[in-house]
Amino acid sequence: MIAPDSIWYSPRHPLALVLAPLSMLYCAIARLRIWGYTQGLWAQHSPAVPVIVIGNLTVGGTGKTPLTLWLAEWLQHQGWQPGIVTRGYGGQLGHQVALVPTTGDPAVFGDESILLAQRAGCPVMAGRDRVAAARALAAQGCNLVLCDDGLQHYRLARALEILVIDGQRQFGNGRCLPAGPLREPRTRAKTIDLIVINGADAENAHPALYLAPGKLTNLHDATRTCTLEQPFAEPVTAVAGIGHPERFFSLLETHGWQIHRTPYPDHHRFTAQDIARWPAQQPVLMTEKDAVKCRKFATTQHWYLPVSAVPNPQFCTALAELVQQRL
């Protein structure tokens, strides 16, 4: 089976040309949706509090969730009482909207929902219906809503849109699904209020951010930590079930770790059988999002690496100005 990434991020993959007509149809439908909402043919609904949407134009991870966590903390320091809306992808909520507990089951609420609830320091509401979720947060006293990955959810009216772009992969081959990674045409970026590049140079004159690694933490005993600059002497199994696993693997190798790459699909639901396939006597390193799902199977050999978004001054200045103008 050919991995989509090998098609989407190759300049002239033959299958991309074969799928090009379907991509043109997809783009046409996306443009029609945008036009319909901007012209008022389909209604947008407000939760009666300002909404900031953080999203991307491509399939897969770009750093939206770390940025959402940073924004929640930044807004609280500015005196806001934010709440976070998330899709709950990979969970079992169906059409329900639910407040996410920090100790919730990722199989029910989704992995990103649990991660957000554990780290955000504010209420997190999960559900397919972002409008209902945002209104539920407003009813609980939140005076601002952050919508993680809601750029294409036009039913939810928003005061501000932030687009996160992977600085390494950008827009791939520039085609819409299924021939490329784009959810919407690239021209959609022209209507975004604030664009930030993940992985760009911190001194970049444009808004940018990078993901700063924290301390490696043992899943079985959270008091055991070490820094990324202290690689284990023996090789480790590196596990990543995220949108762009190579970013995690490259980070480890850059810091001198000897790794055996073990990628999984984004939002993979880990089972005891998955864990049993990993070397029992070899350390296993994983992302924080994967750790949320693996904690109940954890042994002393299992570690995870948290990351935090660090925006550059240009992003912070642009954000502060937009918040003052729009909210």
Query: Which pLDDT does position 6 carry in this prediction?
Result: 81
Query: Which pLDDT does position 200 carry in this prediction?
Result: 61
Tell me the C-alpha distance between 235 and 284, whole Å.
9
Neighbour count for residue 22 (Cβ, 10 Å): 14
Structure tokens at 154: 């036009």
Answer for the pair 32, 140: CB distance below 8 angstroms, yes or no.
no
Query: Which pLDDT does position 281 carry in this prediction?
Result: 86
**Helix (H), strand (E) at residue 198:** strand 194-198
- 10-residue mean pLDDT series, the chain (327 residues): 77 88 96 95 95 94 92 97 92 90 92 94 95 96 95 96 92 93 95 90 74 94 93 92 90 94 91 90 93 91 95 94 94
Tell me the C-alpha distance between 57 and 139, whole Å.
30
Answer for the pair 41, 33: CB distance below 8 angstroms, yes or no.
no
Q: Taking Cα atoms as reference points, which of 73, 111, 55 lies closest to residue 308?
A: 73
What pTM was computed for the model?
A: 0.93
Instruction: Please give the torsion angle defined by the CA atoms of residues 90, 94, 98 and 100, in that order, rounded to the nearest 10 degrees.
Output: -10
Query: Which pLDDT does position 155 carry in this prediction?
Result: 96
Angle of the 111-119 helix axis to the 64-77 helix axis, nearest 10 = 30
6 to each of 62, 108, 128, 176, how far by Cα in Å? 17, 32, 30, 15
Query: Which pLDDT does position 1 carry in this prediction?
Result: 53
